[in-house]
Amino acid sequence: MPDPSALTVETFTRKHAAAMLDWFASREALIQWGGPDLSYPLDTAQIEAMLAETAGAEPSRWMFAGLVGDRLAGHVQVALDWRNGVGRLARVAINPSMRGQGLAQPFLREVTTRFFANSAFERLELNVYTFNETAIRTYNGLGFREEGVRRSSVKVGDARWDTALYGLLRTEWT
């Protein structure tokens, strides 16, 4: 079992992509992670399209890899609104074979620290489906506050899911 303090964070690049292609075993699991606009199964082309948004001095996306040794333990993105100083934490995942070991919070703590280290940003927000208790516990533990629920906002097969919005301000981040 990995020690959460052994997790390191680096920029997610093309070389990490293959290690996460089998992390989402169903369309529902893929949508739970990445939202309804992704196509199942996850493939390199979709990750390449996300990576294309990380270029430039003010990219629209940052992507991070969490590593334990040389193993990909986690993935997360931050969608960036430079004009308003707002980021959206998105596509948070821990490697399925490493879940339940307390890695999510230290991983996201490091990414949040890096985000607020940039003085351009005042607010970090995120969307989470309301049934996703494990994710919500993680976000609450980091200090995110629930700001509202978009009821019945996503259609997944015959089901409809509610989306909660969470936010964390620079002044609340310790």
The least distance separating ligand COA from the CB of residue 145, rounded to whole angstroms, comes to 15
Comparison of 85 and 106: residue with beta carbon closer to ligand COA: 106
Give least dist CB 99 to ligand COA, A.
Answer: 4
Q: How far is the CB of 119 from ligand COA (least distance, A)?
A: 27
Per DSSP, the three-state class of 152 is strand
**What's the CA gap between 153 and 151, in Å, rounded?**
5
To which H or E segment does residue 78 belong? strand 71-81
Amino acid identity, residue 95? N
Which residue, 134 or 152, is less far from ligand COA as judged by CB?
A: 134
User: Residue 89, class by beta-carbon neighbours within 10 Å (0-12 exposed, 13-18 middle, 19+ buried)?
Assistant: buried
Footprint of ligand COA on this chain (CB under 6 A)? 32-33, 92-94, 99-105, 128, 132-135, 137-138, 141
Of the two residues 40 and 56, which places its CB atom closer to ligand COA in the complex?
40
